[in-house]
Every structure is written in C-alpha cells, then in structure tokens.
Structure 1
Amino acid sequence: MKYSVERWGSGAERIIFVHGSLGYGAAAFGEQQPLGDRFTLDVVTRRGYGDNPPIGAVDVLADAHDVIEILGEGAHLVGTSMGGIVAMNAAGLRPDLIRSLTVIEPPAFALAADLPEVRRVSDAMRRHWRTADPSDLHAFVSGFVEALEVGIPIPKPLPAPMAATVRNLVTERPWKVDVPIGAIDDASYPKLVVVGGWSKAFDAIGRRLADLLETDLHVLTGAGHAVQKVGQPFNDLLVRHVENSREAEGVTA
C-alpha cells in the first residue's frame, strides 16, 4: 500500500484526517485521539511519509485520490497545511462522499496572491527554492520556515523521519498549488476554515477561503501553524461542526 491509515475509535460517524508536509498522521493529530471515544478516526499517512515507501515527488492529486479511496461510502474530512490542499482536492472531485470539510491553514497561496501579505511569503518561497541547495536538507528546511516566517528551531542533525519529509518538501511548490474552489463552494456539505492567528499570510488566506466558501473563519491561537495541536478547543469546534452537518442532513443521534 502506498499510503497507510491508523484507526482510532469505533463510533458510528467517521472522520478522516490528512497531515501536512513535515509530519505524518499520528504525529500531526495526536491531540485528536480523544475524539475516538465518540467517532471512528481514520488518520492518514500520505505517500512517502512515515513508514510508507519513498516517492520521487509529492503529487497532491494522487494523494487526493488516495483520500477518495479511504472515504469509502462517505465521511467527514479534515486536512492540515498541505493536507488541507489534499483534502480540498478530494472534496472537489467527490463532493458526494463528503459529510463535512475542515481545513487548517492550507497553503492556498495562489488563491490569495493579490494580497500583499500573501505575496510577500510566496515571493520568499520562490527565492528560496530558486537558490537553496536541495541536497542540504537542514539548510533547506531552515530556509523554508524562515520564508514562511514561522520562527521555529530546526534540530541539527535532522532526525531521520524529519529528513524524509524534507526530501518530499524539496519537490513541492507551495506557492503554485491549486484547489477546486468552485466545486467546493457549489457543494452542499458544511465547510470550516481554521487559522492560528500567528501569521498575516495564513490569516489572509483563511479569510479569502472563508469569503469564497461563504463560511466563518475561526481563529484558535496557541499552537502556531499546527492549530489542531491546541487540543480541546479545536476538538470542541470540530465536534460542533460535525454535529451541525448531521443536523443539516436531518440525521438525529
């Protein structure tokens, strides 16, 4: 299997979680494990991450088709960072399988490239990819987080699992990724956009997404880009979102 899925819980309703560029399933969503007392949680580790076989390059559409396989007859879908881009592509391709969609700081830079705060970070990433040595993984990821204005320390030497994620990162072009915003907007499933309030660029992308999808933007501070790691506040928000989607479908507990 090119991807893998770790299952937590056995509730009647299922939530699928998709991680971003510098992690893998359980590491990205460990704080959501308590939701397994109520739901079935399928935590995806994408192609080329974790213990899955290496890949030549990240392919968001291939990942999206993997998610569609995992959706089965339908589920709620949550994606963080680049996993949010994957989730949005899956949701655009198969809206009939989506019970609700939640995206956490997806790097949809192309969707908001007209905004100065977004363009500044996009330009910084372009310069970094153009000038960085892709074989120096520590320098590459350090320059990447600097371009994103994250300001987090990078361990040296890189732990082996992180080095593998950086090899994948080298093949990405975050400022160019596309999302099927029209198909998502047209779909009837509820949408939730969440940001961490730490970055003007990601906040602006979140506002643009929320406006285009005609939904609210939720800000949960305290965990930076990995908003889901605030734990209970995010979990409570997600539970409300899932419950609201159930009510919208006319389903009772």
Structure 2
Amino acid sequence: MQRDVLTRLFLHGAGRRGHAAWPGLPESSGTFLEFDSRSTIDDQTRALQDSPHQAIVFAHSIGAVPAALAARPMGVRGAVLVEPALYDIVRGESAIERHIGIVVEARAQAEAGNLEGFWAILRPLMFGGSFDPSTWEQEKPLAQQWAVTNLPWGHGVRAQMLGEIPTLVVTGGWNDEYEIIARRLVDDVGAEHHVLPGAAHRPQDHPGFVSVVERFELSLR
C-alpha cells in the first residue's frame, strides 16, 4: 500500500490478532489493533472511540461490529469492511437465521457443560467436516475458545450507522451470509462491493486486495 498521510486502523476478527490478521499488508500501513480475547463488543467500541479521528477503518468479520458502532463518534474518513459479520442488519433472512439458530443451539450445549456436544454442532458450521472423537483432544482448545467468543448479533447495529461514510465491502464469494450482508450495505448506504474469490473468509489475503483498497482510497482524496 502507498505510503501517504492517511491514518489507517486495522481491526481483527475472532481469530488472528494485530498484524497477524492482515499479513499481506506492511506493518507500516497503519495501526493494527489487538483486542484482548476477553474484551466485549462494548469494550472494543469504547476503545475505538478513543482512537484517532478521520481515520480509514479496516475491519474483518466480527471486527466490523465495533467499527460500525464507533464510526460516527470517530468521524471516520472511510470504512473497509472485509467479510463483515453485521448480522443485525439482515435479521429475517433465511441464511442468517439458520446460522444464528445453529450457534444458539450449540452455545446452549456449552452452557450446560457439554463442550463436545457444542463442538459437534458448531464445527460443521464454522470449519466444515463432522465431529471426530479421534481429534477431540487436539481440537478441544479451539472449541473452548469458540464457546466463549463474542457473538456478532444483538448489538443494535444498523446499516445507517455507516450512512454518508464512504464504505468498501470486500467478500470472498463463498458464503451466502456475507454476500447478503454486502448487498444490504450496497442497497442501504451505497457501499462499493468487490468479490475476491479464492481466499474464503480472508479475502484480505487475496493478491488483488491491495489494488482494490488503493482504488478506494484514491476516491477519498
């Protein structure tokens, strides 16, 4: 990415944190935030509101939730949302409600102390493949992490929170949920949408990501 006077803030999703969530970009590209795994969406939103204003905010997956909630208070210059998990703005869509229903069912198992039952439900949804008892011990730490991670709905996010903010949405074209969310942002706030297939949930790893972002940033000048 070009070196210039733009201030960029990078928000990670539920997995990798900091610069590790955006490995295709130089560390000099901006500030790569790293939220504690125990932080809530409210914690993250408050932290963002204390960040530099007039920044371009990059957010991946659930990172788009605090980004949207803090966008107006921050006076962001633009938003780059990568596979944004803004489920609140598309409630009622069948693919969205199916996903939420499965996660709620899985979480109920975890809360009842049945972590294996939780993983048997969640693993096929999030990672593909059925539960395999022979790999349970290796996967147990990941299951424990996902049993308590923040959920991306129920935060009162509305598409209009990004109204009048130049917004680029980048998806991987592999999952109907993210494409539905992207279309809603296009329809409701005039977002620009690009599909970069081949990298699934991490289109920021696609070789074409940087050029798409550079064109968007040029439009902000």
TM-score > 0.5, shorter chain as reference: yes
What is aligned with 1:144? 122
Shift of 1:159: 9.7
Q: What per-residue deviation string (whole Å, max 9, x for no partner) do you get for residues 36-76 of structure 1?
A: 4xxx411110133xxxxxx3xx4212212212322x24211
- The question of whether the paired residues in 2 share the 8 Å contact of 1:15 and 1:78 is answered with yes
State how far apart, in whole Å, the 2-side matches of 1:218 and 1:142 are.
34
Tell me the SS of whatever aligns to 1:243: helix
Aligned residues: 217
Gaps of 5+ in 1: 1-7, 49-54, 247-253
Q: Is 1:228 matched up with 2:209?
A: no
TM-score by length of 2: 0.83
Residue in structure 1 matching 2:46, options 59, 65, 69 = 65
Change (3 A) 1:225 1:177: farther
Counterpart residue identity of residue 31, structure 1:
G
- The question of whether the paired residues in 2 share the 8 Å contact of 1:134 and 1:170 is answered with no
State how far apart, in whole Å, the 1-side matches of 2:113 and 2:216 are.
42
State how far apart, in whole Å, the 2-side matches of 1:78 and 1:139 are.
35
Q: CA RMSD in A?
A: 3.0
Change (3 A) 1:218 1:152: farther
Change (3 A) 1:140 1:228: farther
Residue in structure 2 matching 1:75, options 55, 78, 81 = 55
Q: Is 1:31 matched up with 2:24?
A: yes
- The question of whether the paired residues in 2 share the 8 Å contact of 1:47 and 1:63 is answered with no
What is aligned with 1:86? 66
Counterpart residue identity of residue 220, structure 2:
S
Q: What per-residue deviation string (whole Å, max 9, x for no partner) do you get for residues 136-194 of structure 1?
A: 7787567434234x42799852597x688x16x51523342332422321x3x311111
What is aligned with 2:31? 42
Q: Is 1:211 matched up with 2:200?
A: no
Residue in structure 1 matching 2:109, options 114, 131, 135 = 131
State how far apart, in whole Å, the 1-side matches of 2:195 and 2:202 are.
12
Q: Is 1:118 matched up with 2:87?
A: no
Change (3 A) 1:141 1:194: farther
Change (3 A) 1:225 1:137: farther
State how far apart, in whole Å, the 2-side matches of 1:9 and 1:17 are.
16
Shift of 1:205: 1.6
State how far apart, in whole Å, the 1-side matches of 2:18 and 2:152 are.
20
Percent identity between matched residues is: 22
Tell me the SS of whatever aligns to 2:102: helix
State how far apart, in whole Å, the 2-side matches of 1:25 and 1:218 are.
24
Q: Is 1:176 matched up with 2:145?
A: no
TM-score by length of 1: 0.73
Change (3 A) 1:199 1:175: same
Counterpart residue identity of residue 242, structure 1:
E
Change (3 A) 1:137 1:229: farther
State how far apart, in whole Å, the 2-side matches of 1:44 and 1:68 are.
13
State how far apart, in whole Å, the 2-side matches of 1:106 and 1:199 are.
12
Judge which range, 234-243 or 136-145, deviates more.
Answer: 136-145
Residue in structure 1 matching 2:8, options 6, 15, 38 = 15
Gaps of 5+ in 2: none
- The question of whether the paired residues in 2 share the 8 Å contact of 1:138 and 1:158 is answered with no
